[in-house]
Amino acid sequence: MGKTIFDIIIVGAGPSGATLARLLGGQRSVLLLDSRSYGENGFVREKCCGGLLAPDAALQLRRMGLTPPGHVCEAGQPLTVRALDLGASLSRPYGRAYVNLNRAAFEQWLVSLVPDSVVFAHGCRVSTMLRKDGNWAVSVSGKGGAASYEGKLLVSAEGAASLVRRRLDRKRLLHAQYLAVQDVYSGFHGGAAASGEYVAFYHPWYTDFYGWIIPKKDRVLVGAALPPRFRAPYAVGERMDALRDCLRLAGYGFDGHLRREACLVLRPKPGDIFHGRDGAFCIGEAAGWISPSSAEGFSYAFASARALAKAVLAGGNPEKVLAAYHRNTLALKANIVWKTCKSPFMYVSPIRRFILRKG
């Protein structure tokens, strides 16, 4: 019996990868790979994430006929975000209807929607990939040993650290990478603790991006997106400890440090978007589809997965699929341009402070 050649191999079973597998499963032969082990309680390792579903992401889910079930939502769903400029001691609330999610439960739900016809290999990390006779040969290794697969198309849904993108597009990525660092505490007091509102805070000494305080059911997340120059281990610890002290001076106290999480996150410009080449494609954050103003990624994960699924199902050779994927994401790229233009109003200190003073 000859070796199975899949129509499409998807690397990464996060929101974008699981969505693409769900949309293509049953219509194409699909292999879904993930480096994390998956069991009854979902993935054994969670991604560093605030777990807020923005209105745009909720709209994308509704367009696919999906609504997050109650068990993936955290207790308490406040409708207010507080913008906090630590450097100028300015603070303003604004209305924003996020859905507060348990990220692990949300990902487990998305994976549960993937059809049984999709082959799901988890707990295995891609080690090599090679273009071979017009297909992609992928080798993986894990606790179960080594294995190799072959697919007509290859898709990276791996996030900012995408191995596929590094293999195909080495020029345009590193300058846009930040390190999202998040401390998890058992509780907090002062500030917005009573109302449970979310906090987005800014201080140019800590980061030229932003930080966050997000209350959950039994914990609180305190994090910041650190620029590349602060990604050395000693610099990360120094920044996060100083940030905690600064927040305490602003009236936010934290109790019971549980752990520290980190992951790469992109802050793309329009020119950083990479759709793919040579029969390999990128979706979600691996392609650069993430908000450059807020680092919101769920809506882009769903939208880019839908755009590529539509292109694949339309048929044609890899070049035609790539051209269709480009066309299907024109509006998404325009959104990146808009968010890039919006960023100075949030991250240029004099402009932000003028807006906060004016309310």
Q: How confident is the model at residue 1 (pLDDT cuts 50, 70, 90)?
A: very low
What is the overall mean pLDDT for the chain?
Answer: 90
Helix axes 318-328, 298-313, angle to 10 degrees: 140
Burial class (CB in 10 A: 0-12, 13-18, 19+), 240: buried
Averaged pLDDT for residues 118-139: 93
Q: How confident is the model at residue 150 (pLDDT cuts 50, 70, 90)?
A: very high
Tell which residue, 114, 139, 90, 129, has the closest CA to residue 281: 129
DSSP 8-class letter at 331: H
In DSSP terms, 122 is beta-bridged to 34
Question: Side chain identity at 316, as an amino acid letter?
Answer: G
pLDDT of residue 32: 97
**83, pLDDT greater than 80:** yes
Averaged pLDDT for residues 335-349: 93
Q: What percent of the chain has pLDDT over 70?
A: 95
Q: How confident is the model at residue 202 (pLDDT cuts 50, 70, 90)?
A: very high
Q: Compute the distance between CA of residue 341 and CA of residue 339 in angstroms, rounded to an integer.
A: 5
Are 213 and 192 in contact by the 8 Å Cβ rule? The answer is: yes
Sign of torsion, CA 181 35 37 160?
positive
Q: Compute the distance between CA of residue 302 and CA of residue 269 in angstroms, rounded to an integer.
A: 20
Which segments of 133-279 are extended strands (E)? 135-142, 145-156, 177-189, 198-202, 211-215, 220-226, 253-266, 276-277
pLDDT of residue 40: 79
Averaged pLDDT for residues 258-276: 91
Place of tokens 């001691």: 89
pLDDT of residue 231: 63
Q: How far apart are the first and last CA of the chain?
A: 69
Other Cβ atoms within 10 Å of 95 Cβ, number: 7
Q: Compute the distance between CA of residue 290 and CA of residue 159 in angstroms, rounded to an integer.
A: 10
Place of tokens 């103003």: 293
**133, pLDDT greater than 70:** yes
Tell which residue, 224, 198, 228, has the closest CA to residue 210: 224
Averaged pLDDT for residues 170-185: 79
pLDDT of residue 96: 85
In DSSP terms, 81 is beta-bridged to 94, 198
DSSP 55-123: HHHHHHHHHTT----GGGBPS----EEEEEETTTTEEEEEE---EEB-HHHHHHHHHHTS-TTSEEEES
* 133: helix, strand or coil: coil
pLDDT of residue 173: 59
Averaged pLDDT for residues 70-80: 83
Tell which residue, 293, 267, 296, has the closest CA to residue 347: 293
Averaged pLDDT for residues 227-248: 82
Least confident interval from 188-192, 210-214, 217-221, 308-312? 188-192
Other Cβ atoms within 10 Å of 144 Cβ, number: 12
pTM over 0.75: yes
Helix axes 15-24, 298-313, angle to 10 degrees: 30
**108, pLDDT greater than 90:** yes
Are 15 and 302 in contact by the 8 Å Cβ rule? The answer is: yes
pLDDT of residue 15: 96
Tell which residue, 108, 144, 146, has the closest CA to residue 126: 146
pLDDT of residue 169: 83
Least confident interval from 105-119, 167-181, 271-285, 295-309? 167-181
Are 198 and 215 in contact by the 8 Å Cβ rule? The answer is: yes
